[in-house]
Amino acid sequence: MNGSKLKRLHRAALRSVSFLVLLALWEIASRFDLIRPFLLPPLASVLARLASDLVSGAFALNAGLTLYRTLAGFALASLVGIPLGILISRHRLVGWFVEPIVSVGFPMPTIAFLPIFMLWFGVFDLSKIVMTAFSAVFTVIAAADGGTRGVERPLVWSAESLGARHGDVFLEVMLPAAMPQILTGLQVALPLALIVEVASEMLMGGAGLGGMMVQAASYADSAGVYAGIVETAAVGAVAVALMARLRRRVLRWHPEAAR
Amino acid sequence: MNVAPARPAEEAGIVIEHLSHTYAPEAGTGVLALDDVSLTVERGSFHALLGPSGCGKSTLLFCIGGFLPLQAGRIRTARGPVSGPGPERGVVFQNFALFPWKTVRENVLYGIGKRGIRGAAAREIAQHFIDLVHLTGFEGSFPSQLSGGMQQRAALARTLAAEPDILLMDEPFGALDAQTRRIMQEELLAIWRQTEKTVVFVTHDVAEAVYLADAISVMSARPGRIRETVAAGFNRDPDPAVVRRPAFTDLVELLWELVKSEVEACRPALASVA
Amino acid sequence: MPSGFGERRVRGIFVRYAPLLIIALVWEAVTRLGLVSGTLLPPFSTVLLSFVTLLRDGTLVPNALASLMRGAAGLALAIAGGSALGAGMALSPRVDTAVGPLVQAFYPLPKTALVPLVMVWFGLGDMAKIVLIFLGCLLPVILGTYNGLRGVDRVLAWSARSLGASRREVVREVLFPAAMPQILTGLRTATAFAFLLMVASELIIANNGLGYLIGSLGDNGAYPAMFASILTVTALGFLADRGFAAISRRLLRWRA
């Protein structure tokens, strides 16, 4: 067993080489003034900025706000989108009506609607949350629709011939069977929500990672901009990890969990 | 019951000496798929590899095909040692492996083109093989438009069009329904008699092996070894009633007992229930 | 006389998108009847009129062209760079170890977070927006190419080799065609991202383009024109996606 552990460490070390090389290049570039400090501030200053953000609670505030708004919008999109998507696959009339809307909304640059939401809901949390939800909902609807549509008929028939009633069949058979695809849709929707949330914050300003970065750029505070990127990436990583966790939990029974 | 004696590669079609193969050695615990396998396949003969799933018969085939790196032992054909894939060893896979974006004709033309033949001459050769496998009229179809049996014929035509000396077949009829399988077996025999190629045929179906082969090697389960090689030769008999002859059914029973003991060796829990 | 098939096609499209027409009618009714304030939601007919005005007075087309050219440039660069990177990672373990971790680290970062950074590097011009779109579209292309190539069943490559193809020929003649479905899906996602980042960058770095137009019209209270611009960019995004889907269908017509 020692051999395989060593091999795993070896591989992990190999994979971090690229980062170390990049960081080394960064240091060299700023030390030897190869790039203007405005474009590429010294690594130390960015790290110092990260540290001070952590200590002062600025990171917690900004990241917390961004994450809160993202999750709120995402939750809204899920609560609306999943039932709607399921409804589409089950009722032909609803499906006929909603399908072109989803088909237009899916590739749409939903961020273009931001000024409308600002007009309707003001410039505080509500408009950002609605904007985020609006962006994510089409992905969720499509996934829920596809997932329930794709449930194999033998599964449903088996349940019915074992005596399950209509409502039971839906809750106990169709929904779990559709879960993998629904969760995949959610996993795509959450990063999308975060992208739109950050853009909304940049446009509207105020507290939050987006607003903080735009402010740093306007003050020519490039260390702040770089630190903001790292902090936003951290929030993004947390979001991705959360979804992966959720998926593993909900799909414990699925063959993919056995891998 | 006799074992074919070893002969130099010039006479024999394929000579395998002390071949071993381990899968994924870098993960720490490798799986020994083949353990010191030695085998001689007579040139022009139809040789079956029979055994339960996972016993390494496909691995052996892939080694002969040159797809797996040579780790220990040697494989030689009349053209020399095997070091990689080559058109003299054609392969037919269980899931057909047709290029789905090419039509039947384009698939068949692929190997022909690699031999440097193009244009009208190439198309003529392709048509000959498409006709040989009874796919005339479907030259312009995509694989997705064909049934399983037809796809397998197309795969066979593609392989034959490259004019290999040796035909390596990995459970080629495993994905087909029983009726199509029977038809394909008869057609394969007809083509083999016509083209006189050396065939190595992997299967887990005992009756299929006895029906098709000159010689049958039974392989043991993990790790893969040749347990016994027996002579068959019922394929020389054009009478379809050959499958009902006592000699035929006796051989099937014999081989089935051998294979069954290998299957049970893999699954001790189930054997105790039986 | 047009063939029955052509007529059926047109009727099919009409039936499919009729709900949008219904929504437009409801929109018109709801605003005309005063159920919703006319400032918050201008009537659909007013929006249509502003659209025509924007077209006529030369505001819409130059901005739209500027946006589309930047979007296309960024997307083209991302396709070129991303497919090369994705292919390199899929085919060479060394490239995978070198570049893979960086790509993976890049993955959770919301690409709009790069807007201030490109502003710092490139100021407020075209370059900043093109670089942003390039960086944002890179990942879907890389992933599509990488997953597509890796997902090719090995027996396809083996068949080609045993039919006499060299390793290089296998990559060109087998791996890439087999990976096409997934590569095209990645490209389709990248196109949608291109539109998203195009609009976002123009809303934030507002000097020209459709995003700028939307923002400035909104700031000036010209809401009907703002709605018209939003619908325009929506329609463009939709048409681009449809166009892409049609191209995909053509390229992949061998599929079941």
pLDDT in tens, C16-48: 889 999 999 999 998 888 888 878 899 999 999
Q: What per-residue confidence (pLDDT) applies to C10?
A: 84
End-to-end CA, chain A: 20
Q: Which domain holds residue A31?
A: 1-35
pLDDT in tens, A184-231: 999 999 999 999 999 999 999 889 999 999 999 999 899 999 999 999
**Binary contact (C113, A228; C-beta < 8 A):** yes
A233 touches chain C (CB under 8 A): yes
In the DSSP assignment, the letter for residue B214 is S
Number of Cβ pairs < 8 A linking chain A and chain C: 155
What whole-number percentage of chain C has pLDDT above 70?
Answer: 98
Q: Write down the mean pLDDT value for chain C.
A: 92
C133 touches chain A (CB under 8 A): no
End-to-end CA, chain B: 29
The answer to whether residue A31 sits within a structural domain is: yes
Q: Cα distance from B27 to chain A (closest Cα, Å)?
A: 6
A3 touches chain B (CB under 8 A): yes
pLDDT of B9 over the 50 cut:
no
Q: What is the dihedral of CA C194, C198, C204, C206, to 10 degrees?
A: 170
- Per the structure, the count of domains in chain A is 2
Residues of B in contact with C164 (CB under 8 A): 86-87, 111, 114-115, 162
Query: How far is residue C90's CA from residue C68's CA, in Å, rounded to a whole number?
Result: 31
Give chain B's domains with CATH numbers.
Answer: 1-88+167-172+198-274 (3.40.50.300)
Give chain C's domains with CATH numbers.
Answer: 58-251 (1.10.3720.10)
pLDDT of C125 over the 80 cut:
yes
The answer to whether residue A41 sits within a structural domain is: no
**Binary contact (A191, C111; C-beta < 8 A):** no
Do the Cβ atoms of A51 and A231 come closer than 8 Å? no
- Residue of C162, C177, C254 with shortest CB distance to B87: C162
Instruction: Give the model's confidence band at C247: pLDDT under 50 very low, under 70 low, under 90 confident, else very high.
Output: very high
Q: What per-residue confidence (pLDDT) applies to C49?
A: 94
- Based on the domain organization, do A1 and A76 belong to the same domain? no
Strand partners, B22: B32
CA dihedral for C185, C186, C189, C195, sign (positive or negative): negative
The answer to whether residue A42 sits within a structural domain is: no
- Based on the domain organization, do A16 and A64 belong to the same domain? no
Per the structure block, which two tokens stand in for B149? 């049996």
The secondary structure of chain C, three-state, reads CCCHHHHHHHHHHHHHHHHHHHHHHHHHHHHHCCCCCCCCCCCHHHHHHHHHHHHHCCCHHHHHHHHHHHHHHHHHHHHHHHHHHHHHHHHCHHHHHHHHHHHHHHCCCCHHHHHHHHHHHHCCCHHHHHHHHHHHHHHHHHHHHHHHHHCCCHHHHHHHHHCCCCHHHHHHHHHHHHHHHHHHHHHHHHHHHHHHHHHHHHHHCCCCCHHHHHHHHHHCCCHHHHHHHHHHHHHHHHHHHHHHHHHHHHHCCCCC
pLDDT of B126 over the 70 cut:
yes
Residues of C in contact with A10 (CB under 8 A): none
Q: Which amino acid is at C234?
A: T
**Binary contact (B102, C254; C-beta < 8 A):** yes
pLDDT of A118 over the 80 cut:
yes
- Based on the domain organization, do A71 and A197 belong to the same domain? yes
Q: Which residues of A145-179 are buried (b: 16+ CB within 10 A; e: fewer)?
A: bbbbbebeeeebeebeeeebeeeebbeebbbebbb
Q: What is the ipTM of this complex?
A: 0.89
Residues of B in contact with C256 (CB under 8 A): 144
- Based on the domain organization, do A126 and A239 belong to the same domain? yes
Q: Cα distance from B141 to chain C (closest Cα, Å)?
A: 9
Per the structure block, which two tokens stand in for B163? 């004019």
**Binary contact (B27, A1; C-beta < 8 A):** no
The answer to whether residue A40 sits within a structural domain is: no
Per the structure block, which two tokens stand in for C116? 């201030």
Whether the bond between A115 and the residue before it is cis, its omega within 30 degrees of 0, is no
C135 touches chain A (CB under 8 A): no
pLDDT of B183 over the 60 cut:
yes
Do the Cβ atoms of C254 and B101 come closer than 8 Å? yes
Q: State mean pLDDT over A113-127.
A: 92
Per the structure block, which two tokens stand in for C46? 């007013």
Do the Cβ atoms of B210 and B178 come closer than 8 Å? no
**Binary contact (A7, B26; C-beta < 8 A):** yes
Q: What per-residue confidence (pLDDT) applies to C232?
A: 95
Q: State mean pLDDT over A107-132.
A: 93
pLDDT in tens, B102-120: 999 999 999 999 999 999 9
pLDDT of A167 over the 90 cut:
no
Task: Mark residue C141 as left, alpha or beta (left: phi above 0; alpha: psi -120 to 50; beta: remaining).
Answer: alpha
Least confident window among A127-141, A165-179, C139-153, C229-243: A165-179
Mutate to test the interface with C, among B114, B129, B160, B171 (most CBs of C within 10 A): B114
- Residue of A17, A98, A240 with shortest CB distance to C108: A240
Q: What per-residue confidence (pLDDT) applies to A176?
A: 87
B102 touches chain C (CB under 8 A): yes
> Chains with ≥3 Cβ pairs under 8 A against B?
A, C
Q: Which residue has the tokens 């039971």?
A: A168
Query: How far is residue C12's CA from residue A94's CA, in Å, rounded to a whole number?
Result: 17
The answer to whether residue A79 sits within a structural domain is: yes
The answer to whether residue A43 sits within a structural domain is: no
Q: Write down the mean pLDDT value for chain B.
A: 88
Q: Cα distance from B239 to chain C (closest Cα, Å)?
A: 34
Q: Give whole-number Cα distances, C22 to C27, C224, C227, in Å.
A: 8, 20, 18
For residue C131, the tally of other CB atoms under 10 A from its CB is 19
The answer to whether residue A216 sits within a structural domain is: yes
Residues of C in contact with A197 (CB under 8 A): 110
> What phi and psi values does residue B140 have, to the nearest 5 degrees?
-90, 5
pLDDT in tens, B246-258: 999 999 999 999 8
What whole-number percentage of chain B has pLDDT above 90?
Answer: 68
Residue A162 is part of a domain; what is its CATH number? 1.10.3720.10
pLDDT of C3 over the 70 cut:
no
pLDDT of B5 over the 60 cut:
no
pLDDT of C256 over the 80 cut:
no
Q: What per-residue confidence (pLDDT) applies to B181?
A: 92
Find the helix or strand (DSSP H, E) in which A32 lies: none
Q: Which residue has the tokens 């063959």?
A: A255
Do the Cβ atoms of C236 and C64 come closer than 8 Å? yes
DSSP for A189-245?
Answer: HHHHHHHHHHHHHHHH-SSSHHHHHHHHHHTT-HHHHHHHHHHHHHHHHHHHHHHHH
Q: Give the helix ranges, DSSP H, for A32-56.
A: 43-56
What whole-number percentage of chain C has pLDDT above 90?
Answer: 79
C181 touches chain B (CB under 8 A): no
B18 touches chain C (CB under 8 A): no
Instruction: Give the model's confidence band at A258: pLDDT under 50 very low, under 70 low, under 90 confident, else very high.
Output: low
- Based on the domain organization, do A17 and A88 belong to the same domain? no
The full length of chain A comes to: 259
From A217, which residue of chain C is nearest by alpha-carbon distance?
C116
Query: How far is residue A183's CA from residue A175's CA, in Å, rounded to a whole number?
Result: 11
Q: Give whole-number Cα distances, B267 to B139, B245, B272, C63, in Å.
A: 46, 33, 9, 72
Over the Cα atoms of chain A, what is R_g? 23
Residues of A in contact with B28 (CB under 8 A): 1, 3-4, 7
Q: What per-residue confidence (pLDDT) applies to B28?
A: 67
**Binary contact (C204, A38; C-beta < 8 A):** no
- Based on the domain organization, do A1 and A110 belong to the same domain? no
**Binary contact (C112, A195; C-beta < 8 A):** yes
- Based on the domain organization, do A57 and A131 belong to the same domain? yes
C38 touches chain A (CB under 8 A): no
- Based on the domain organization, do A142 and A55 belong to the same domain? yes
Higher pLDDT, A258 or B228: B228
- Based on the domain organization, do A119 and A153 belong to the same domain? yes
Q: Which of B243, B194, B237, B265 is nearest to B52 (CA)?
A: B265
Query: How far is residue A147's CA from residue A254's CA, in Å, rounded to a whole number?
Result: 15
- Based on the domain organization, do A238 and A172 belong to the same domain? yes
Q: Which residue has the tokens 């025999």?
A: B189
Q: In terms of C-beta density within 10 A (0-12 exposed, 13-18 middle, 19 or more buried), how is residue B36 classed?
A: middle
- Based on the domain organization, do A192 and A82 belong to the same domain? yes
Residues of C in contact with A214 (CB under 8 A): 115-116, 204
From A233, which residue of chain C is nearest by alpha-carbon distance?
C109
Q: State mean pLDDT over B174-199.
A: 92
- Based on the domain organization, do A96 and A20 belong to the same domain? no
**Binary contact (C101, A18; C-beta < 8 A):** yes
pLDDT of B231 over the 70 cut:
yes
A203 touches chain C (CB under 8 A): yes
